[in-house]
Amino acid sequence: MSDTLSKYFVFHLLVVVMLSTVSGAASAELPEAMPQAFAQSTLEATVPIESSGHLVLFSPVREVNNEIRSESLARLPVTGEGRLYQISRDANRREAREHYLGVLQERGASVLFECSGIRCGRSNVWANQIFSQPVLYGRDATQDYLVAGLVTEDGSRWLTSVYTVTRGNLREYVWVEHLKVSAGATVPGLGAENDRVFGPVVVPWQGGVTYRFDWQATDRRKISELARADGSRVVLVGYSVLAGDESLSDAMARARKAAESLSEVLTKTGVSRQQQEIVVAGPAVVVPDPARQGDRVEIMVITR
Protein backbone atom coordinates (compact mmCIF):
# COMPACT_ATOMS: atom_id res chain seq x y z
CA MET A 1 0.00 0.00 0.00
CA SER A 2 1.38 3.41 -1.01
CA ASP A 3 2.00 6.14 1.56
CA THR A 4 -0.85 8.20 0.05
CA LEU A 5 -3.35 5.33 0.30
CA SER A 6 -2.08 4.50 3.76
CA LYS A 7 -2.62 8.09 4.96
CA TYR A 8 -6.06 8.19 3.33
CA PHE A 9 -7.05 4.94 5.03
CA VAL A 10 -5.91 6.18 8.45
CA PHE A 11 -7.68 9.52 7.95
CA HIS A 12 -10.91 7.80 6.86
CA LEU A 13 -10.76 5.46 9.86
CA LEU A 14 -10.30 8.40 12.25
CA VAL A 15 -13.28 10.22 10.72
CA VAL A 16 -15.46 7.14 11.12
CA VAL A 17 -14.40 6.72 14.75
CA MET A 18 -14.96 10.40 15.52
CA LEU A 19 -18.41 10.40 13.90
CA SER A 20 -19.37 7.26 15.80
CA THR A 21 -18.23 8.80 19.07
CA VAL A 22 -20.09 12.06 18.45
CA SER A 23 -23.20 10.17 17.40
CA GLY A 24 -23.05 8.00 20.51
CA ALA A 25 -22.55 11.01 22.78
CA ALA A 26 -25.43 12.86 21.16
CA SER A 27 -27.68 9.84 21.62
CA ALA A 28 -26.64 9.54 25.25
CA GLU A 29 -27.69 13.13 25.85
CA LEU A 30 -31.24 12.60 24.60
CA PRO A 31 -33.42 11.74 27.59
CA GLU A 32 -36.32 10.62 25.40
CA ALA A 33 -34.27 7.79 23.87
CA MET A 34 -34.48 4.33 25.40
CA PRO A 35 -31.03 3.45 26.82
CA GLN A 36 -28.94 1.56 24.33
CA ALA A 37 -29.30 -2.18 24.83
CA PHE A 38 -26.59 -4.23 26.48
CA ALA A 39 -24.66 -5.62 23.52
CA GLN A 40 -24.66 -9.23 24.72
CA SER A 41 -28.42 -9.53 25.00
CA THR A 42 -31.41 -10.30 22.79
CA LEU A 43 -34.63 -8.28 22.73
CA GLU A 44 -37.53 -10.56 23.63
CA ALA A 45 -40.46 -8.14 24.04
CA THR A 46 -41.36 -4.47 23.80
CA VAL A 47 -44.31 -3.13 25.81
CA PRO A 48 -45.75 0.39 25.33
CA ILE A 49 -46.52 2.04 28.68
CA GLU A 50 -49.13 4.76 29.00
CA SER A 51 -50.79 5.02 32.38
CA SER A 52 -52.31 7.51 34.78
CA GLY A 53 -51.01 5.47 37.73
CA HIS A 54 -47.98 3.40 36.79
CA LEU A 55 -46.34 1.79 39.83
CA VAL A 56 -42.70 2.74 40.47
CA LEU A 57 -40.88 1.62 43.62
CA PHE A 58 -38.25 3.65 45.43
CA SER A 59 -37.63 1.13 48.24
CA PRO A 60 -37.73 -2.67 48.73
CA VAL A 61 -41.04 -4.41 48.13
CA ARG A 62 -42.99 -6.61 50.48
CA GLU A 63 -46.39 -8.26 50.26
CA VAL A 64 -48.98 -7.99 53.05
CA ASN A 65 -52.38 -9.64 52.59
CA ASN A 66 -51.80 -9.81 48.84
CA GLU A 67 -51.10 -6.07 48.73
CA ILE A 68 -47.84 -4.47 47.64
CA ARG A 69 -46.19 -2.50 50.42
CA SER A 70 -43.09 -0.35 50.18
CA GLU A 71 -41.69 2.48 52.28
CA SER A 72 -41.59 4.68 49.20
CA LEU A 73 -43.62 4.04 46.08
CA ALA A 74 -45.55 6.14 43.61
CA ARG A 75 -48.28 5.58 41.06
CA LEU A 76 -47.37 8.05 38.37
CA PRO A 77 -48.91 9.38 35.15
CA VAL A 78 -46.34 8.32 32.55
CA THR A 79 -45.74 7.50 28.92
CA GLY A 80 -42.89 5.33 27.74
CA GLU A 81 -41.82 1.81 27.06
CA GLY A 82 -40.65 -1.38 28.70
CA ARG A 83 -38.25 -3.83 27.08
CA LEU A 84 -37.37 -7.39 28.04
CA TYR A 85 -33.92 -8.74 27.13
CA GLN A 86 -32.36 -12.16 27.56
CA ILE A 87 -28.66 -12.02 28.40
CA SER A 88 -26.29 -14.16 26.37
CA ARG A 89 -24.76 -17.16 28.10
CA ASP A 90 -21.26 -15.72 27.71
CA ALA A 91 -22.25 -12.58 29.68
CA ASN A 92 -23.91 -11.96 33.04
CA ARG A 93 -26.32 -9.75 34.97
CA ARG A 94 -23.57 -7.74 36.62
CA GLU A 95 -22.16 -6.67 33.26
CA ALA A 96 -25.62 -5.75 31.98
CA ARG A 97 -26.37 -3.69 35.09
CA GLU A 98 -23.06 -1.85 34.83
CA HIS A 99 -23.79 -1.10 31.17
CA TYR A 100 -27.13 0.57 31.93
CA LEU A 101 -25.76 2.35 34.96
CA GLY A 102 -22.99 3.79 32.78
CA VAL A 103 -25.48 4.98 30.16
CA LEU A 104 -27.60 6.68 32.81
CA GLN A 105 -24.59 8.35 34.39
CA GLU A 106 -23.51 9.70 31.00
CA ARG A 107 -26.94 11.27 30.64
CA GLY A 108 -26.60 12.93 34.02
CA ALA A 109 -29.32 10.83 35.67
CA SER A 110 -29.22 10.24 39.42
CA VAL A 111 -29.90 6.87 41.02
CA LEU A 112 -32.92 7.37 43.31
CA PHE A 113 -32.91 3.84 44.72
CA GLU A 114 -31.12 0.55 44.18
CA CYS A 115 -31.08 -2.85 45.86
CA SER A 116 -29.76 -6.35 45.29
CA GLY A 117 -30.55 -9.89 46.41
CA ILE A 118 -33.11 -10.57 49.09
CA ARG A 119 -32.96 -6.90 50.16
CA CYS A 120 -35.15 -6.12 47.15
CA GLY A 121 -37.94 -8.40 48.36
CA ARG A 122 -39.45 -11.39 46.59
CA SER A 123 -38.68 -11.84 42.91
CA ASN A 124 -42.17 -13.25 42.42
CA VAL A 125 -43.69 -9.91 43.41
CA TRP A 126 -41.40 -7.91 41.13
CA ALA A 127 -42.07 -10.21 38.17
CA ASN A 128 -45.81 -10.74 38.41
CA GLN A 129 -47.25 -7.77 40.31
CA ILE A 130 -44.92 -4.89 39.50
CA PHE A 131 -43.62 -5.55 35.99
CA SER A 132 -46.24 -8.10 34.78
CA GLN A 133 -43.47 -10.16 33.19
CA PRO A 134 -43.65 -13.75 34.57
CA VAL A 135 -40.39 -14.69 32.86
CA LEU A 136 -38.61 -12.41 35.37
CA TYR A 137 -39.55 -14.71 38.26
CA GLY A 138 -36.22 -16.00 39.52
CA ARG A 139 -34.16 -16.44 42.62
CA ASP A 140 -34.58 -13.84 45.37
CA ALA A 141 -30.84 -13.94 46.04
CA THR A 142 -29.89 -13.27 42.41
CA GLN A 143 -31.80 -10.13 41.45
CA ASP A 144 -31.13 -6.41 41.49
CA TYR A 145 -33.08 -3.26 40.79
CA LEU A 146 -32.38 0.40 40.30
CA VAL A 147 -34.44 3.42 39.37
CA ALA A 148 -32.79 6.61 38.12
CA GLY A 149 -34.25 10.02 37.40
CA LEU A 150 -33.34 12.99 35.25
CA VAL A 151 -34.74 16.52 35.04
CA THR A 152 -34.01 18.19 31.70
CA GLU A 153 -33.46 21.87 31.03
CA ASP A 154 -37.08 22.30 29.93
CA GLY A 155 -38.26 20.80 33.24
CA SER A 156 -39.44 17.45 31.89
CA ARG A 157 -38.73 14.46 34.11
CA TRP A 158 -37.61 10.99 33.07
CA LEU A 159 -37.41 7.76 35.05
CA THR A 160 -35.50 4.64 34.03
CA SER A 161 -35.89 1.36 35.91
CA VAL A 162 -33.54 -1.58 35.40
CA TYR A 163 -34.28 -5.00 36.91
CA THR A 164 -32.09 -8.05 36.34
CA VAL A 165 -32.63 -11.60 37.56
CA THR A 166 -31.31 -15.14 37.27
CA ARG A 167 -34.02 -17.76 36.80
CA GLY A 168 -33.95 -21.28 38.19
CA ASN A 169 -32.71 -22.58 34.81
CA LEU A 170 -29.76 -20.13 35.11
CA ARG A 171 -30.96 -17.99 32.22
CA GLU A 172 -30.60 -14.27 32.96
CA TYR A 173 -32.91 -11.44 31.97
CA VAL A 174 -33.06 -7.64 32.03
CA TRP A 175 -36.24 -5.55 32.16
CA VAL A 176 -35.83 -1.84 31.31
CA GLU A 177 -38.56 0.77 31.69
CA HIS A 178 -37.97 4.26 30.32
CA LEU A 179 -40.73 6.71 31.24
CA LYS A 180 -41.60 10.37 30.88
CA VAL A 181 -43.46 11.62 33.95
CA SER A 182 -46.37 13.99 33.36
CA ALA A 183 -46.10 17.51 34.75
CA GLY A 184 -47.35 18.04 38.28
CA ALA A 185 -46.77 14.51 39.55
CA THR A 186 -44.69 14.03 42.69
CA VAL A 187 -41.65 11.79 42.19
CA PRO A 188 -39.81 10.83 45.41
CA GLY A 189 -36.32 12.34 45.36
CA LEU A 190 -36.55 13.82 41.87
CA GLY A 191 -36.54 17.59 41.56
CA ALA A 192 -35.84 20.12 44.27
CA GLU A 193 -39.55 20.77 44.73
CA ASN A 194 -39.93 17.29 46.26
CA ASP A 195 -36.86 17.24 48.47
CA ARG A 196 -38.69 18.84 51.37
CA VAL A 197 -41.49 16.27 51.56
CA PHE A 198 -41.04 12.71 52.77
CA GLY A 199 -43.95 10.31 52.58
CA PRO A 200 -46.66 9.46 52.87
CA VAL A 201 -45.87 6.54 55.15
CA VAL A 202 -49.11 4.56 55.24
CA VAL A 203 -49.86 3.12 58.69
CA PRO A 204 -52.96 0.87 58.82
CA TRP A 205 -54.70 0.82 62.20
CA GLN A 206 -57.14 -1.36 64.12
CA GLY A 207 -58.96 -0.84 67.39
CA GLY A 208 -61.21 1.57 69.23
CA VAL A 209 -60.19 2.12 72.85
CA THR A 210 -56.64 0.99 72.20
CA TYR A 211 -55.03 0.93 68.77
CA ARG A 212 -52.68 -1.38 66.95
CA PHE A 213 -50.59 0.13 64.15
CA ASP A 214 -49.05 -1.91 61.33
CA TRP A 215 -45.82 -0.17 60.41
CA GLN A 216 -42.16 -0.99 60.11
CA ALA A 217 -39.27 -0.09 62.40
CA THR A 218 -37.49 1.43 59.40
CA ASP A 219 -40.43 3.83 58.93
CA ARG A 220 -40.29 4.91 62.57
CA ARG A 221 -36.53 5.48 62.43
CA LYS A 222 -36.75 7.49 59.20
CA ILE A 223 -39.51 9.73 60.55
CA SER A 224 -37.66 10.32 63.82
CA GLU A 225 -34.45 11.11 61.92
CA LEU A 226 -36.10 13.65 59.60
CA ALA A 227 -38.04 15.22 62.48
CA ARG A 228 -34.77 16.18 64.17
CA ALA A 229 -34.06 18.75 61.45
CA ASP A 230 -34.70 22.36 62.48
CA GLY A 231 -38.16 23.57 61.55
CA SER A 232 -39.44 20.19 60.39
CA ARG A 233 -43.15 19.42 60.69
CA VAL A 234 -44.74 15.97 60.98
CA VAL A 235 -48.23 15.79 59.49
CA LEU A 236 -50.57 12.94 60.43
CA VAL A 237 -53.65 12.48 58.25
CA GLY A 238 -56.28 10.20 59.75
CA TYR A 239 -58.50 8.13 57.44
CA SER A 240 -61.40 5.80 58.22
CA VAL A 241 -63.80 3.63 56.25
CA LEU A 242 -67.47 4.49 56.64
CA ALA A 243 -69.28 1.43 58.00
CA GLY A 244 -72.73 0.55 56.72
CA ASP A 245 -74.68 1.91 59.69
CA GLU A 246 -72.14 4.52 60.82
CA SER A 247 -72.63 8.28 60.72
CA LEU A 248 -70.06 10.54 59.11
CA SER A 249 -69.33 12.24 62.44
CA ASP A 250 -68.63 8.87 64.11
CA ALA A 251 -66.27 7.85 61.29
CA MET A 252 -64.47 11.18 61.52
CA ALA A 253 -64.15 10.76 65.30
CA ARG A 254 -62.61 7.30 64.85
CA ALA A 255 -60.06 8.71 62.40
CA ARG A 256 -59.19 11.53 64.80
CA LYS A 257 -58.71 9.20 67.79
CA ALA A 258 -56.46 6.90 65.75
CA ALA A 259 -54.32 9.83 64.56
CA GLU A 260 -54.08 11.18 68.12
CA SER A 261 -53.04 7.76 69.41
CA LEU A 262 -50.29 7.50 66.78
CA SER A 263 -49.24 11.04 67.66
CA GLU A 264 -48.65 9.86 71.23
CA VAL A 265 -46.52 7.00 69.92
CA LEU A 266 -44.41 9.45 67.91
CA THR A 267 -44.01 11.67 70.96
CA LYS A 268 -42.54 8.75 72.88
CA THR A 269 -40.02 8.18 70.08
CA GLY A 270 -38.75 11.76 70.33
CA VAL A 271 -40.99 13.65 67.90
CA SER A 272 -42.33 16.54 70.00
CA ARG A 273 -46.05 17.26 69.98
CA GLN A 274 -45.28 20.83 68.96
CA GLN A 275 -43.82 19.54 65.70
CA GLN A 276 -46.89 17.54 64.84
CA GLU A 277 -50.04 18.53 63.01
CA ILE A 278 -53.12 16.30 62.83
CA VAL A 279 -55.47 16.46 59.86
CA VAL A 280 -58.69 14.42 59.90
CA ALA A 281 -59.88 13.17 56.51
CA GLY A 282 -61.99 10.23 57.70
CA PRO A 283 -63.99 8.74 54.82
CA ALA A 284 -64.45 12.16 53.20
CA VAL A 285 -61.28 11.98 51.08
CA VAL A 286 -61.02 9.14 48.55
CA VAL A 287 -57.54 8.20 47.30
CA PRO A 288 -57.49 5.99 44.14
CA ASP A 289 -54.14 4.39 44.99
CA PRO A 290 -54.82 0.73 46.01
CA ALA A 291 -51.93 0.90 48.49
CA ARG A 292 -53.68 3.76 50.35
CA GLN A 293 -57.00 2.30 51.44
CA GLY A 294 -58.82 1.35 54.63
CA ASP A 295 -58.49 2.63 58.20
CA ARG A 296 -55.07 4.22 58.23
CA VAL A 297 -52.95 7.18 59.24
CA GLU A 298 -50.64 8.66 56.61
CA ILE A 299 -47.53 10.43 57.89
CA MET A 300 -45.52 13.04 56.01
CA VAL A 301 -42.45 14.94 57.17
CA ILE A 302 -41.99 18.41 55.72
CA THR A 303 -38.59 20.02 56.22
CA ARG A 304 -37.56 23.66 55.88
Count of structural domains within the chain: 2
252 CA to centre of own chain: 32
Average pLDDT, the chain: 85
Confidence of residue 229 (pLDDT cuts 50, 70, 90): confident
Give residues with Cβ within 8 angstroms of 83, minimum separation 6. Answer: 34, 37, 43, 45, 46, 47, 175, 176
CATH number at residue 209: 3.30.1330.60
Is 29 a domain residue? no
Give me the percent of the chain exceeding a pLDDT of 90: 58
Residues 128 and 57 in one domain: yes
Is 191 a domain residue? no
Is 190 a domain residue? no
Residues 68 and 107 in one domain: yes
Least confident of 64-68, 182-186, 230-234: 64-68
What pLDDT is stored for residue 170 in this prediction? 94
Q: Which of 189, 200, 277 lies closest to 233 in space, CA to CA?
A: 277
Is 5 a domain residue? no
Residues 121 and 226 in one domain: no
pLDDT at residue 277 tops 60:
yes
Question: What pLDDT, in 10s, does the model give residues 249-258?
Answer: 999 999 999 9
Is 202 a domain residue? yes
Residues 171 and 210 in one domain: no
Residues 231 and 293 in one domain: yes
What pLDDT is stored for residue 22 in this prediction? 38
Residues 52 and 153 in one domain: yes
Residues 131 and 174 in one domain: yes
pLDDT at residue 171 tops 60:
yes
What pLDDT is stored for residue 26 in this prediction? 37
Residues 275 and 169 in one domain: no
Question: What pLDDT, in 10s, does the model give residues 181-222?
Answer: 988 788 887 764 445 677 788 899 999 888 999 987 878 888
Is 2 a domain residue? no
Q: Are 72 and 113 in contact (CB under 8 A)?
A: yes
**Hey, how many other C-beta atoms are within 10 angstroms of the C-beta on 7?**
11
Is 13 a domain residue? no
Question: Domain residues for 122?
Answer: 34-181
Residues 204 and 177 in one domain: no
